Structure 1
């Protein structure tokens, strides 16, 4: 287990980067229909979805590079909690049925990142002089 434990800071960085890039994709699909339009999203977007899409793109980019990681991750975790209860929870109790499983995973992944920090592969770590690579 000690061998695996030494990888945990790097895996935290990888988790942050992968989750952020996947999250950005949702915003890009809403705003720019890239790589395709988001299924079920109205066009044009209402103001609330427009704000959510920009949070996903800008917040996802900041998380991907690891800049302002803790507050950005906390904000995005909250966005996903609100999104889940506004768009998914009323459809069914079960996340697999109401389509909210991704929102729940993003919410708790970002909450974990807000608590754990960005990991060594981040601008935050570089600014603090703690980058390990």
Structure 2
């Protein structure tokens, strides 16, 4: 059983990256593109607007597995910043201050900095091609 699970671990790393990126990207589409509709859309030059651009572009790059490590590093920092600026002032407990998703994204993206994109990625394809 362990050999089978170990065999699929790299593919599951890619699946984790893709799913986290797609869900994360939805936050950017809401802020930047208005889909799904946002009750109070931010201006693109505000902190939430800039965050939306990072979420949309960074999420797309992570979903494709392109420039995974540097993009994941930037997005991990964005989520740490978002937690401490937007959530922590509302209280200590993440379940009460609404910051649990920001913490989870921060550490998933930080893991991707070290683990890389996995085999189902444009980074891996470029590496196999010798680029």
The number of residues matched between the two structures is 128
Question: Is contact 2:34-2:41 (8 Å) kept?
Answer: no
- Any idea what the Cα deviations from partners look like across 1:29-81, whole Å, max 9, x if unmatched? 111221221x6x55446521111110000000000000000000011000000
More helix by share: 2
Kindly report which structure 2 residues correspond to 1:1-133, keeping only aligned pairs within 5 A, or say none.
1-37=2-38, 41=40, 43-44=42-43, 47-129=46-128
Give the unaligned 5+ runs of structure 2.
Answer: none
- Cα RMSD for the two superposed structures: 1.5
> Under a length normalisation based on structure 2, what TM-score does the superposition of the two structures give?
0.92
Give the unaligned 5+ runs of structure 1.
Answer: none
Tell me how far apart the structure 1 counterparts of residues 82 and 67 of structure 2 sit (CA, whole Å): 22
Which contiguous aligned blocks of 4+ residues in structure 1 show a shift greater than 4 angstroms?
A: none
> Under a length normalisation based on structure 1, what TM-score does the superposition of the two structures give?
0.91
